[in-house]
Amino acid sequence: MASETMKEELLPSRTYEVLNGRIMNLIDGQEAMRQAIEKALQTQRYSVAWLSKNYGTDLEQLVGKSLDYAKSEVKRMISETFAADKRIIDVEVTNIDEMNKTDLAVYVNISTSFGKVAVVKEVTT
């Protein structure tokens, strides 16, 4: 019996560019990663039955919590959002600003196999 060797392959990032709810173009590389990152940050984990339980974020759990608690948890939660995506190399929260009494602006630099992507995620507590 011959032994089979499995080779792990990096999936392409090619996807559709969506603007205002309409498919516009095909995009690839860093721009496709930006869209994938933003979609993951917008999706509540477990909210879509056909998505993996590893997809999305748990940031909605911060609603009703204090700003201090949210600041202490948001870095971990954002990092966990991307833990299962092998295209993501590193997630660095560079700054957290208080926008008002209940909202944070979280600045994140994400290193991917297609380059760096910077995003700002608003988090409501």
Residue 12 confidence (pLDDT): 59
d(CA 88, CA 21): 25
Where the chain has pLDDT below 70, the residues are 1-12
Cite the DSSP H helix spans in 22-115.
29-42, 67-81
Determine the Cα–Cα distance for residues 118 and 98; give it in Å rounded to an integer. Answer: 19
Distance CA 25, CA 11 (A): 19
Question: What is the per-residue pLDDT for 9?
Answer: 57
pLDDT at 1: 52
Specify whether the CB–CB gap between 12 and 30 falls below 8 A: no
The one-letter code for the residue type at 3 is S
N- to C-terminal Cα distance for the chain?
Answer: 58
Give me the pLDDT at residue 4, please. 66
Relative orientation angle of helices 29-42 and 67-81, to the nearest 10 degrees: 130
In CATH terms, the fold of domain 15-45+56-124 is Nuclear Transport Factor 2; Chain: A, (3.10.450)
Q: What is the pLDDT of residue 20?
A: 82
Entry pTM: 0.82
pLDDT, position 21: 80
Map out the domains of the chain as residue ranges.
Answer: 15-45+56-124
Neighbours of 97 (CB within 10 A): 10
* Whole-number Å distance between alpha carbons of 26 and 99: 35
